[in-house]
Structure 1
Amino acid sequence: MSTDPDRWRALWRAASCALVVLGSLSSSTVPTGLYPVYVDSIGLGEAAQSAVFAMYIAGIVPVLLLSMRGRLPVSTGTLAGAAGASIAGAVVMLSAGSPETLFAGRALQGVGVALASIAGVGAVISLGRRLTLPAVAVIGGLMPSIGAAIGPVLGDYLGRSAWSPPMRPSGACRSS
């Protein structure tokens, strides 16, 4: 492989974009394993659970509509927004003490996933083509699936574990 500094910079950018996509999708699917904890600690009913899931879509759709109109560039700023919204959504979800905070957290996660999908996957595939490395584009395409698979496993672990994350949902103390 070439030692051209521009090529290495492009590879680094592709890897960074892929990690944002992986992290965004992972963090957005972690709550799946935590819903039993939310049910126990907040008293979240079936209708409220469905509403929380719907808030995710409410976060995704406006971003995708803006993207279709060409108003969201594939840029570092968009990726930073994706990472920020995903992190903020995860923090809100992990510290949720009411259905309203769950709604807000899920909407933020939806925004993060939409931004990551648009900017992250697009940038990785574009950089892979420019570098003439098809594997980079394949990795960019796999990151959403890998991230979506990691999240529920991590969430289930957090929900069942005796280990308590720093921001466990309010009132969700476990007794042995």
Structure 2
Amino acid sequence: MDETGVLQRRRDTAWRGAGVAVAAVGWGAQQFAPLLLVYRAELGVGAATVQAVFAVYVVGLVPGLLFGGPVSDRWGRRPVALAALAASGAASALLLAGGHGVGWLFAGRLVAGFASGAGFSAGAAWVRELSAGSVGGTERGPRRATVAMTAGFGLGPLAAGVLAQWAPAPTVLPYLPHLALTLAALPLVLRTPETSAGGTGGLRIAGVTSRRFRTVVVPLAPWVFGVVAVGIAYLPGLVAHRLGGFVLLFCTFVTLIAAAAGISVVPLARRVARGGTGQLLAVAMGLAIAGLLVAAAAAATTDPLLVVASVVVLGAAYGCCQVCGLAEVQRMARPGQLAGLTAAYQAISYIGFAAALPLAAVDHAVAPPVLLLGLAALAALTLAGTSRAVRTSTVPEPTLDSK
């Protein structure tokens, strides 16, 4: 291979260190999901308490996003990614003590949220910037960031769920693989090229007041993880009584297939996106509506197979929504603003992680199928509003590619 080929290969693979960091943080974010029912049994707490522990992640995540994005735009991607990895490992250390009291779980999930916010905002921007020098990098950047994040989301729960099901100490051993992965990611991040030259401005996030961001990105964003939360945190509890001793394995399985569906649909989302944001938006929200309708049927029949079918569709909706949102942000961001605008988008998107909490809190008063049909109707309204906004608004210039 000649020198030009060697340089091109380096550019094509430069993103992998940042991708591993994003995956490691994603692993730490979602490893808790299949253990929800374990803690209900171990600690004797109710469904609403466990859902609150799951949702408190968002309380830490939003400030992490709003801190990590602008800070990495100003002082560099690598320092923020390293800090996020360290915080993610600390969160797992706190969760190790969770079997002794729910307070440890709240603390661990709060720290995990902050780590994820900082890591995803800086890491996703880093992956996209490192991809810019590779062949087709402009298109591959959002896809690679989505795949790295989703791989962590899938593998973390898989490892944690398998260990909790068949290994001893189900509230301790599931967190050890993440601690090992975090340590392994640190040297990779240290060797990854820095892409942010830094800036002299403040930490204000520019671009969030644009009409396009307010009318397209903001309504879309909560559905990215809202559909995931419904599939992996709410639906399994509705069919738990039909699963016998395989409840934990089922929770692990649905979390894995949600992530697998999200990754598998990314190439299709990328092709659809070439026809414009409107087309991908229609596909993404159409899948969300379809998945919620199947979820309503699953809730009405308490059929585990329908839960699986719903999670597959909702996972695909997540993948399409994520690619659509990241691509919109990439087109909008001016030079030096990518991580900050990504952080703002992700801060709104992760609000959706709390979707299971209000559902669990009121499903004793309102039937779960009715709640899920209501969500499907809300998704349809979102599709109508954002589709109209896409037709009547423009992407701010200059785009990221003008750097």
* TM over 0.5, shorter chain: yes
Report the CA distance shift for 1:165/1:3 in structure 2 as closer, same or farther (over 3 A). Answer: farther
Greater relative contact order: 1 or 2 (C-alpha under 8 angstroms, separation 6 or more)?
1
Which residue is equivalent to 2:80?
A: 78
Of 93, 98, 114, the match for 2:117: 114
1:54, distance to aligned residue in structure 2 (A): 2.3
Which residue is equivalent to 1:172?
A: none
Aligned ranges for residues 24-173 of structure 1 at < 5 Å? 24-66=25-67, 70-73=70-73, 74-96=76-98, 97-132=100-135, 134=137, 137=141, 138-164=143-169, 167-168=172-173
**Is the 8 Å Cα contact of residues 164 and 170 (structure 2) preserved in structure 1?**
no
**Is the 8 Å Cα contact of residues 29 and 155 (structure 1) preserved in structure 2?**
no
Deviations 1:111-169 (A, max 9, x none): 11111211111101101103445286232231111211222222221221134479359
- Distance (Å, rounded) in 2 between the aligned partners of 1:166 and 1:41: 9
Unaligned ranges ≥5, structure 1: 170-176
**Is the 8 Å Cα contact of residues 33 and 154 (structure 1) preserved in structure 2?**
no
Q: Percent identity?
A: 24
1:76, distance to aligned residue in structure 2 (A): 1.0
Report the CA distance shift for 1:78/1:93 in structure 2 as closer, same or farther (over 3 A). Answer: same
- Distance (Å, rounded) in 1 between the aligned partners of 2:103 and 2:147: 33
Which residue is equivalent to 1:23?
A: 24
Q: TM-score, normalised by structure 2?
A: 0.37
Structure 2 residue identity aligned to 1:122: A
Q: Give the secondary structure class of the aligned counterpart of 1:123.
A: helix
Deviations 1:48-96 (A, max 9, x none): 212212210001111223357x344342110011111111112211331
- Distance (Å, rounded) in 2 between the aligned partners of 1:85 and 1:165: 23
Q: Give the secondary structure class of the aligned counterpart of 2:172.
A: coil
Q: Give the secondary structure class of the aligned counterpart of 2:128.
A: helix
**Is the 8 Å Cα contact of residues 39 and 50 (structure 2) preserved in structure 1?**
no
**Is the 8 Å Cα contact of residues 68 and 117 (structure 2) preserved in structure 1?**
no
Q: TM-score, normalised by structure 1?
A: 0.80
Structure 1 residue identity aligned to 2:41: D
Q: Which has the higher helix share?
A: 2
CA RMSD, Structure 1 to Structure 2 (Å): 2.6
Q: Which has the larger radius of gyration?
A: 2
Report the CA distance shift for 1:101/1:159 in structure 2 as closer, same or farther (over 3 A). Answer: same
**Is the 8 Å Cα contact of residues 36 and 159 (structure 1) preserved in structure 2?**
no
**Is the 8 Å Cα contact of residues 64 and 118 (structure 2) preserved in structure 1?**
yes
- Distance (Å, rounded) in 2 between the aligned partners of 1:55 and 1:160: 25
> Aligned residue pairs: how many?
166
